Amino acid sequence: LLGEISASFIYKADDFEYAVITTTDGNLSIPDSVMDNLNSLSISTMRGIVFTTFKGTFLHNAYLPIIDPTAFRQKQ
């Protein structure tokens, strides 16, 4: 392990009445396409955080992996 960064991404969905995100018995239901977009946004933002944080260190030229946002889907 050469470095470690932890981050949390929180999203807010307004107008649940019209949104594609629904709740049933307190459980959220988010379509795969919306979840893929949120995951992609989080991954891209994290890559920027990692690049900025490691800039000027020995990890400055480290390769950042490309991650498939669909890999985070829950298995059903």
* Dihedral in degrees, nearest 10, Cα atoms 8, 14, 17, 18: -100
The model's pLDDT over 30-55, given as tens digits with 9 standing for 90+, comes to 888 888 999 999 999 999 999 999 99
The model's pLDDT over 14-36, given as tens digits with 9 standing for 90+, comes to 776 667 888 888 888 888 888 89
Q: Write down the pLDDT at residue 64.
A: 83
The b/e string for 9-28 (b: 16+ C-beta within 10 A; e otherwise) is: eeeeeeeeeeeeeeeeeeee
70: which DSSP letter? G
Q: Write down the pLDDT at residue 30.
A: 84
Q: Write down the pLDDT at residue 24.
A: 84
